[in-house]
């Protein structure tokens, strides 16, 4: 089956479409497609191959509308409703364009959607405590335009099962990167940076995953403010600056980095307000030093998280496999390699394992959709904190 996965992350940079060929595991023991086969462990003999990947940037006005939609205290309900349908159209167009480009037709679509608000922890609301999440991008529109069923809105089912609704990519990470002898830490650097730790020979319930802190989000915000550019292409600015160590020391003291996983972060933590406070701390320092410091913050907080929370649990970790848009930032990668080398980890790119860095998350939602279509759960409870495996998402028929 060919499945199209659609991802648009917290960077609000645009849409990734991955076309993936997936087929049932040949040595499957359970009754394929049956609800009785409640395993969250992807079978290793499953066929899974990326057959096409395309990126589509949001137009500037759309990006602004998406960012405005994430501004919880100011967004208008009418605009959010409009955005939901507009994104459905844009996602559908992206899938149709990717299909034309690769001369393929998907039989199923999995769409993550654009997160407008995520609060994975229970917090008081109207006398109750609720954990909530909201991904937008109307599945019914995508289904109607592309002409095939669409699975969307994956996170709520995990939260209903007591999980934080994130991260969901560990299901793919476990399938692709586990190894009998080498422990791997899979590090995605999107707007937020998150890792999946898979020790050598790990069972699915031993997989750990959490957000390490900012990925590109602070770098992007600083580039916008100082240079009116959406991001630091190839890490050029950061590469010409020097890290402001006094600022860094203050930043690293933040409670988030000390807090034990599981933990999640988003634009709520590292968005506009954080960027403003960060710029204030940097004062009148040279612009390129500020970008270098924002970049080093990502590299150091990843390394700190690994040293504090991953390496002490298990001795088999040897590789750090990097994906996400941050993998294109050469300065960030060099800083990260420097940080993790003393920890006995070598840096690899997800590309080396057959998935281009930018395609991985989109491919993951193709896989999750495929599992849901076969009525199988695809959350990893040890990663999200859910009490049980859950079948994720909602189906829109064409």
Ligand X SMILES: Nc1ncnc2c1ncn2[C@@H]1O[C@H](COP(=O)(O)OP(=O)(O)O)[C@@H](O)[C@H]1O
Interface positions with ligand X (CB under 6 A) = 9-11, 13, 190-191, 216, 219-220, 231-235, 324-326, 328-329, 361
Q: What token pair was written down for 331?
A: 């300065």
Is there a contact between 265 and 256 (Cβ–Cβ < 8 Å)? yes
Nearer to Mg ion, 13 or 232 (CB): 13
Nearer to ligand X, 140 or 234 (CB): 234
Bridging pattern class, strands 183-189 and 192-198:
antiparallel
- Based on the shown chain and the rule CB under 5 A, indicate whether residue 9 belongs to the binding site for Mg ion: yes
Considering the complex, what minimum distance in angstroms separates the CB of residue 314 from ligand X? 27
SS (H, E, C) 72-89: CCCCCHHHHHHHHHHHHH
In the shown chain, the binding pattern of residues 193 to 232 toward Mg ion, with x for contact by CB under 5 A and - for none, equals ----------------------------------------
Sequence-distant (6+) residues with CB within 8 A of 193 are 187, 211, 212, 213, 214, 215, 298, 301, 302, 324, 326
Side-by-side strand order, sheet with 192-198:
208-214, 192-198, 183-189, 317-323, 346-349
Nearer to ligand X, 13 or 138 (CB): 13
**Per CB under 5 A, which region of 12-20, 75-83, 134-142, 262-270 contacts Mg ion?**
12-20
Nearer to ligand X, 193 or 386 (CB): 193
Nearer to Mg ion, 95 or 247 (CB): 95
**Per CB under 5 A, which region of 8-16, 17-25, 178-186, 245-253 contacts Mg ion?**
8-16
Question: Which of 2, 3, 13, 95 is in the footprint of Mg ion by CB under 5 A?
Answer: 13
Is there a contact between 209 and 380 (Cβ–Cβ < 8 Å)? yes
Considering the complex, what minimum distance in angstroms separates the CB of residue 386 from ligand X? 22
| Residue 182 to residues 93, 206, 295, 319, Cα–Cα distance (Å) | 41, 15, 28, 8
- Binding residues for Mg ion, rule: CB under 5 A, are 9, 11, 13
């Amino acid at each position: 089956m060919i499945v199209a996965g659609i991802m648009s992350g917290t960077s609000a940079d645009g849409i990734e479409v991955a076309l993936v060929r997936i087929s049932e595991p040949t040595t499957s023991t359970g009754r394929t497609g049956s609800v009785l086969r409640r395993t969250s462990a992807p079978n290793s003999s499953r066929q899974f191959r990326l057959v096409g990947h395309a990126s589509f940037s949001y137009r500037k006005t759309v990006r602004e509308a998406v960012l405005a939609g994430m501004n919880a205290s100011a967004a208008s309900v009418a605009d959010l409703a409009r955005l939901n349908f507009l994104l459905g159209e844009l996602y559908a167009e992206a899938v149709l364009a990717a299909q034309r480009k690769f001369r393929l037709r998907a039989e199923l679509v999995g769409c993550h959607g654009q997160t407008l608000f995520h609060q994975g922890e229970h917090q008081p609301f109207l006398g109750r405590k609720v954990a909530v999440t909201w991904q937008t991008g109307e599945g019914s529109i995508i289904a109607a335009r592309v002409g095939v069923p669409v699975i969307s809105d994956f996170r709520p089912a995990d939260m209903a099962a007591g999980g934080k609704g994130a991260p969901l990519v560990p299901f793919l990470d476990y399938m692709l990167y586990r190894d009998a002898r080498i422990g791997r830490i899979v590090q995605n650097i999107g707007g937020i940076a998150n890792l999946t730790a898979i020790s050598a020979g790990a069972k699915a319930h031993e997989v750990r995953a959490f957000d390490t802190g900012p990925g590109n989000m602070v770098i992007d915000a600083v580039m916008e403010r100082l240079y009116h550019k959406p991001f630091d292409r190839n890490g050029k600015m950061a590469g010409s600056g020097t890290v402001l160590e006094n600022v860094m020391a203050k930043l690293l003291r933040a409670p988030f980095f000390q807090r034990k996983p599981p933990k999640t972060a988003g634009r709520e933590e590292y968005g506009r307000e954080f960027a403003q406070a960060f710029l204030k701390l940097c004062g009148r320092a040279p612009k390129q030093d500020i970008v270098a410091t924002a970049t080093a913050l990502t590299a150091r907080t990843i390394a700190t998280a690994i040293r504090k929370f991953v390496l002490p649990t298990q001795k088999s970790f040897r590789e750090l496999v990097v994906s996400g848009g941050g993998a294109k930032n050469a300065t960030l990668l060099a800083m990260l390699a420097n940080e993790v080398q003393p920890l006995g980890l070598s840096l690899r790119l997800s590309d080396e394992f057959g998935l281009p860095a930018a395609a991985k998350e989109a491919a993951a939602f193709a896989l999750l959709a495929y599992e849901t279509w076969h009525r199988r759960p695809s959350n990893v409870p040890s990663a999200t904190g859910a009490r049980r495996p859950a079948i994720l998402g909602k189906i829109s028929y064409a």
